[in-house]
Structure 1
Amino acid sequence: MTIISQPYTASGLFPHGGWDVHHHIFEPAKFAYAPDRHLTPPPATVQQFLDFKKKIGITNSVLTHGLSYGSDCTSLKAFVRELGESGTKGVGVIDPDTITAAELHEMHSQGIRGIRVNLYKYQAMHDVQRQKQALREHTRVIGPHCPGWSMAFTHVHPEFWGELAPMIQQEIVPAGVRLVTDHFALLKAASMLPAECEGDVTRQPGFREIMDLVRAGLLYVKLSAPYRVSLEGPWYMDLKPLVRAFLNANPHQILWGSDWPHTPHMKVRTREEALHETPYLAVDDGEWLKSLRSWVSAEEWHAMMVSNPTRLYGW
């Protein structure tokens, strides 16, 4: 394994600033979790994130509403206000059946620039038809009232993208919604590929369809949470082919997020599991960032870390 030898310094990695487009804040003592949550995380406070932000060297961030808070964005708006001076926008979770246009406009005025779709609510994590329903319902609500907002959508079945692609092209993009997927679209690096792929990341289900959407400018992808798609931490060297594939497809559609404080892998939990506090993963974000920086050009790095997130969230 090759170890990246250049010293890790904030000024070296982010000479023009940088965005972390996927992090969370959890403060259950201030804001109670939803009773029907899928996960109970330990506290991860605003101050702890500010310390992390300073250590890494980023200048802006996108606070992603934790699904443990359900569709109540009270906590998100409070955290964004608290982080506001540090250049933070928000991505919320909504109930499309009950939210009003006035509430959406108020969210926008408070720095919210998108939503994420809670597949657990739809019992859709493993059901592509229910995923289509969830996407349609959220697009129907935010399309007319929040043009330009992003809609984040993450699931554990990359093979579903072939069936989702026509709907994205025909319904979501024409509605003015900018679709984002987290965590490498959960395409796997070599260390997590099934045996039939023989170590070739391009042979896994969904690879071609995802790259086609990225190439066409119809899908943003966050290079976030490498531990969800690779077993080779802390440097995740086997992710280089995937990183290069995404950037070669379209460098203007690629973003970076930490996934701080590093919640465990997505899965459908029993009620007992969901209510039991689950610890965070131990991740060396600095070493991962050094690896990532070594695989890309200065122009690609600036696009991923500055210009792309500014265009998507910073307006």
Structure 2
Amino acid sequence: MLTAAAAQAKPNILRGSPSISFDIISTRVEQRRSTHGSSASVSLKQRLPLKSWDSHMHVVEPERFPVSPTAVYKPTPHTLPEALAFESRLGVENLVFVQPSVYGTDNSCLLDALRRLGPSRGRGVVVVDPATVKPETLNEWHTLGVRGLRINLQSVGKVVDKFELEETLIQHAELVRPRNWIIEIYLPLDMVPMVESILPRLGVRICIDHFGSPDLASWDDDDPTFNPYSLQGFSSLISLLRAGSTYVKMSAPYRLSKDDQMRDLQAMAREFLSVAPNRVIYATDWPHTRFSAIDISPFTECCLELCATKPGLAERLFRRNTEEMLGVDSD
């Protein structure tokens, strides 16, 4: 049990003001910057790779686009201009709009934002009912920049068995396969073994949201080390990454880790980047729905630091992997 003084002394990498101390991470970052002379004063915005992507964010406008009557929470407005201002401050140029659970299968808000932004800077991942959506509708959305279908079990707390998950994935695969889209899946990490057994029969690429959504509550953060392979489903996620048809997003750390230094998520991230550096994706999860006082800059710093030892890895994480996954022409 931490004392009150010790708890207060612990740096919080997930929340707080931009002037927050990063403890060990910040020390390493400063050491790396000091080897490049004047780069020590370069801002985070200037250090992100050019043409970086935020591969998972949302626009929500309840007054213009009413949320679903079955929405599990009531969102506040977060408009496209607000999103662009946030991304500009961070240093990100390009956006992937992901359909939030509160809109169900009504993608009107997302499509409106994507239409206004344009396909040169934007991509979209929508939610559909595969039994009713029409091919011509999907083709029209493709011209706007939609490149994926999302299956969201975690946000609504839906639990399915292997048979139901297989049927759902097969139905979505039939829609994405001819368009070379992805299936994006938000589900608990302990369900990933089911995905591992099904994926070879689908013939499509998938992307797993938010580090695979692990349950990290049982880890005692007084223990200095964290073994991600102790998590049920992590070995399956690594096997999927090795197989070559799966991407994973490093995003939404505040939804997952209770450790102020994110040692658990860092351990997971190192494994991702080690086994599949071309299929790991950075994202902010803006506007951090159901959370408040989130500053994503420390997490972004952490992602840069994790890439520091391998030339070109930061550009992979922040740009190239997203472009390859979602069919963006790279220069």
Same fold (TM over 0.5): yes
Q: Which of 6, 26, 29 lines up with 1:4 in the alignment?
A: 26
Q: What is the CA–CA distance in structure 1 between the aligned matches of 2:305 and 2:103, rounded to whole Å? A: 37
- Identify if the C-alpha distance between structure 1 residues 80 and 24 changes in structure 2 by more than 3 Å, giving closer, same or farther: same
Alignment coverage as a number of residue pairs: 290
Residues 1:307 and 2:320 are matched in the alignment: yes
Q: What is the CA–CA distance in structure 1 between the aligned matches of 2:187 and 2:150, rounded to whole Å? A: 12
Aligned 8 A contact 2:119 2:145 in 1: no
Residues 1:65 and 2:65 are matched in the alignment: no
- Structure 2 counterpart of 1:47: 81
Residues 59-79 of structure 1 show CA distances to partners (whole Å, capped at 9, x for unaligned) of: 111011122111112221111
- Structure 1 counterpart of 2:214: 187
Instruction: Give the CA deviation at 1:236.
Output: 2.4
- Identify if the C-alpha distance between structure 1 residues 237 and 161 changes in structure 2 by more than 3 Å, giving closer, same or farther: closer
Q: Which of 182, 185, 195 lines up with 1:150 in the alignment?
A: 182
Residues 1:247 and 2:273 are matched in the alignment: yes
- Structure 2 counterpart of 1:270: none
Aligned 8 A contact 2:154 2:186 in 1: no
Q: What is the CA–CA distance in structure 2 between the aligned matches of 1:122 and 1:231, rounded to whole Å? A: 21
Letter in 2 for 1:259: D
Residues 1:222 and 2:249 are matched in the alignment: yes
TM-score by length of 1: 0.84
Residues 1:169 and 2:200 are matched in the alignment: yes
Letter in 2 for 1:4: S
Q: What is the CA–CA distance in structure 2 between the aligned matches of 1:205 and 1:8, rounded to whole Å? A: 40
Where do 1:73-222 residues align within 5 Å? 73-84=107-118, 87-119=121-153, 124-125=158-159, 127-144=161-178, 146=179, 148-156=180-188, 158-170=189-201, 172=202, 174=203, 177-187=204-214, 193=219, 199-222=226-249
Aligned 8 A contact 1:193 1:201 in 2: no
Instruction: Give the CA deviation at 1:12.
Output: 3.6
Q: Which runs of 5+ in 1 are unaligned?
A: 265-279
Q: What is the CA–CA distance in structure 2 between the aligned matches of 1:179 and 1:79, rounded to whole Å? A: 24
Residues 85-125 of structure 1 show CA distances to partners (whole Å, capped at 9, x for unaligned) of: 77111111111111111001001011111110133799843
- Structure 1 counterpart of 2:16: none
Q: What is the CA–CA distance in structure 2 between the aligned matches of 1:303 and 1:3, rounded to whole Å? A: 21
Letter in 2 for 1:253: R
Q: What is the CA–CA distance in structure 1 between the aligned matches of 2:174 and 2:220, rounded to whole Å? A: 37
Residues 1:283 and 2:294 are matched in the alignment: yes
- Identify if the C-alpha distance between structure 1 residues 21 and 165 changes in structure 2 by more than 3 Å, giving closer, same or farther: same
Q: What is the CA–CA distance in structure 2 between the aligned matches of 1:121 and 1:13, rounded to whole Å? A: 33
TM-score by length of 2: 0.80
Largest Rg, 1 or 2: 2
Aligned 8 A contact 1:38 1:120 in 2: no
Aligned 8 A contact 1:187 1:229 in 2: yes
Residues 236-271 of structure 1 show CA distances to partners (whole Å, capped at 9, x for unaligned) of: 24422111100111101100110001123xxxxxxx
Aligned 8 A contact 1:181 1:222 in 2: yes
Q: What is the CA–CA distance in structure 2 between the aligned matches of 1:126 and 1:258, rounded to whole Å? A: 28
Moved more, 158-167 or 239-248: 158-167
Moved more, 161-170 or 7-16: 7-16
Q: Which of 285, 289, 294 lines up with 2:305 in the alignment?
A: 294
- Structure 1 counterpart of 2:258: 231
What CA RMSD, in Å, does the superposition of the two structures yield over aligned residues? 2.5
